């Protein structure tokens, strides 16, 4: 069999690519999906009436109007609820609003003052040069006290590696420190919501879960998805790729982790070091039934005595979900079953870990393969901390570059 486009992975990136190609009249495409169902990290399950996004916390928020336009053209805006974000940090036995630096006034005064001093004495405020390791960067940005009580343990928990091993080039998502505003919030005992660094507000489907967005986008390309078909062999034959010894593809678009795809392509030793640097962490999502009466959407837990790092309160953003549903995210290295969960799911590929040198590594891998018409896009194809909206936008840019 021959196809013009072969897409590896039927997550939101792969299906968006197929949909965009279809919208441009390019119908000759096949999507090979390793799993038994499409959706990847955007899948939702209903368990005892609880709407569970099994890939972990999943909220729609984008800085790209074209992404909203694309999504809402498939699932109308009226199908979503819109929320002002309510997220908390559990710190030192207290719960305060996120982000920490603007909400220190919510702590008992003694503790709050200690953390405030940490912010005000941080390296960035002193004009010291920006360090290059994530650990040093955290200390430089928020001071030692906040680093040690919150940012370092939290990041250790989520990534499963030491922040000292990590780079800082992915930090566009982390807020810049504004000391005047921090002091103002401390003095006025008030948080100006416009200072929320990201996801200040978000959309969530009124029915079902986040997967509804994926379902709507992928509906017209479902017949192109071949399930249970992992790409295990990629061979360059003349001007095509022979995939799994059965399909000849002119152009291959990869949305799966490169380790598997590089192995399928023969493990060229010239790229081994680069591919080894594309490390991935696994996250377990576990569901519980608990009684609570608050309006939090989610809460961060830096305390290393707790295995999980984030907890979500489902009906607070999905009122269609049964009461009392809570789910947790735990790095798979820290996960222990049997803690009262009614369901758990392991996401083997959850976070691309930005270890030092990862940016040069992914550049080398993508450049190597793109000269042979094998393009990487999305969270794994670009090995970048992309949310699903960014995956959609990157899919748009790739399709634009390929077919105009």
Select 14 or 143, whichever has its Cβ closest to ligand FAD.
Answer: 14
Query: Between residue 294 and residue 333, which ones bind ligand FAD under the rule CB under 6 A?
Result: 329
Q: Does 45 bind ligand FAD (CB under 6 A)?
A: no
In this chain, which stretch among 7-15, 79-87, 122-130, 167-175 interacts with ligand FAD, using CB under 6 A?
A: 7-15
**Where do the H-state alpha helices sit in 121-271?**
123-126, 134-146, 152-159, 179-188, 211-218, 258-264
Taking a C-beta distance cutoff of 8 angstroms, is the pair 136, 129 a contact?
no
**What's the number of CA atoms in the CB half-sphere (13 Å) around residue 281?**
24
Give dist(CA 234, CA 236) in Å, integer. 7
Q: Does 59 bind ligand FAD (CB under 6 A)?
A: yes
Nearest distance from residue 155's CB to ligand FAD, in Å?
Answer: 14
Please give the DSSP secondary-structure letter assigned to residue 129: P
CA distances from 263 to 24, 235, 251, 258, 267 (A): 32, 11, 18, 8, 5
Tell me, by CB under 6 A, how many residues bind ligand FAD: 37
Report the 10 Å Cβ neighbour count for 57.
18
Give dist(CA 368, CA 382) in Å, integer. 13
Q: Does 14 bind ligand FAD (CB under 6 A)?
A: yes
Q: Does 260 bind ligand FAD (CB under 6 A)?
A: yes
Q: Does 12 bind ligand FAD (CB under 6 A)?
A: yes
Nearest distance from residue 169's CB to ligand FAD, in Å?
Answer: 18
Q: Does 350 bind ligand FAD (CB under 6 A)?
A: yes
Q: Does 287 bind ligand FAD (CB under 6 A)?
A: no
Taking a C-beta distance cutoff of 8 angstroms, is the pair 115, 107 a contact?
yes
In this chain, which stretch among 11-19, 117-125, 143-151, 169-177 interacts with ligand FAD, using CB under 6 A?
A: 11-19
Taking a C-beta distance cutoff of 8 angstroms, is the pair 306, 326 a contact?
no
Q: Does 281 bind ligand FAD (CB under 6 A)?
A: no
Select 9 or 205, whichever has its Cβ closest to ligand FAD.
Answer: 9
Q: Which of 157, 358, 379, 393: binder of ligand FAD (CB under 6 A)?
A: 379
Q: Does 56 bind ligand FAD (CB under 6 A)?
A: yes
Of 101, 195, 93, nearest in space to 146 by CA: 101
Give dist(CA 3, CA 251) in Å, integer. 8
Q: Does 388 bind ligand FAD (CB under 6 A)?
A: yes
Nearest distance from residue 297's CB to ligand FAD, in Å?
Answer: 10
Select 106 or 331, whichever has its Cβ closest to ligand FAD.
Answer: 331
The DSSP result for 288-329, as a single string, is EE----S--SEEE---TTSS-SEEEEGGGT-TTSPTTEEEEE
CA 253 to chain centroid? 20
Q: Does 275 bind ligand FAD (CB under 6 A)?
A: no
x/- mask, ligand FAD, residues 175-214, rule CB under 6 A, reads ----------------------------------------
Q: Which of 6, 19, 54, 57: binder of ligand FAD (CB under 6 A)?
A: 57
Residues found near ligand FAD in the complex (CB under 6 A): 8-14, 32-35, 40-42, 55-59, 230-231, 255-256, 260, 283, 329, 349-351, 378-380, 386-389, 391
């Amino acid at each position: 069999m021959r196809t013009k486009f072969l897409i590896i992975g039927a997550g939101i990136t792969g299906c968006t690519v197929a949909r965009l190609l279809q919208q441009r009249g390019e119908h000759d495409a096949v999507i090979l999906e390793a799993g038994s169902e499409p959706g990847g990290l955007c899948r939702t399950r209903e368990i005892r009436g609880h709407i569970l996004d099994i890939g972990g916390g999943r909220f729609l928020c984008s800085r790209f109007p074209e992404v909203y336009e694309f999504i809402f053209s498939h699932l109308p805006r009226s199908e979503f609820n819109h929320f002002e974000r309510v997220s908390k940090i559990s710190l030192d036995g207290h719960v305060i609003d996120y982000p920490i630096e603007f909400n220190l006034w919510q702590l008992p005064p003694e503790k709050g003052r200690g953390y405030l001093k940490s912010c005000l004495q941080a390296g960035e405020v002193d004009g010291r040069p920006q360090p290059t390791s994530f650990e040093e960067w955290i200390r430089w940005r928020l001071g030692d006290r906040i680093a040690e009580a919150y940012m370092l343990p939290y990041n250790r928990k989520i990534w499963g590696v030491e922040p000292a091993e990590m780079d800082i080039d992915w930090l566009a998502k982390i807020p810049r420190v504004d000391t005047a505003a921090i002091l103002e919030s401390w003095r006025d005992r008030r948080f100006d919501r416009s200072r929320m660094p990201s996801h200040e507000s978000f959309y969530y489907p009124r029915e079902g879960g986040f997967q509804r967005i994926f379902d709507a986008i992928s509906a017209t390309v479902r017949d192109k998805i071949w399930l249970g078909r992992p790409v295990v062999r990629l061979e360059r034959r003349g001007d095509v790729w022979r995939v799994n010894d059965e399909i000849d593809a002119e152009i291959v678009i990869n949305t799966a982790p490169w380790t598997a795809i590089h192995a399928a392509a023969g493990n060229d030793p010239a790229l081994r070091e680069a591919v080894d640097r594309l490390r991935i962490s696994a996250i377990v999502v576990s569901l519980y039934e608990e009684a609570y009466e608050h309006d939090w959407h989610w809460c961060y837990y830096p305390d290393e005595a707790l295995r999980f790092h984030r907890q979500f309160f489902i009906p607070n953003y999905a009122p269609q979900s049964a009461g009392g549903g809570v789910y947790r995210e735990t790095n798979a290295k820290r996960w222990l079953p049997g803690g009262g969960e009614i369901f758990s799911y392991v996401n083997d590929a959850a976070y691309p870990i930005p270890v030092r040198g990862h940016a040069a590594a992914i550049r080398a891998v993508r450049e190597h393969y793109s000269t042979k018409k094998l393009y990487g896009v999305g969270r794994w194809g670009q090995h970048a901390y992309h949310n699903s909206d960014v995956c959609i936008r990157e899919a748009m840019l790739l399709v634009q570059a390929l077919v105009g």
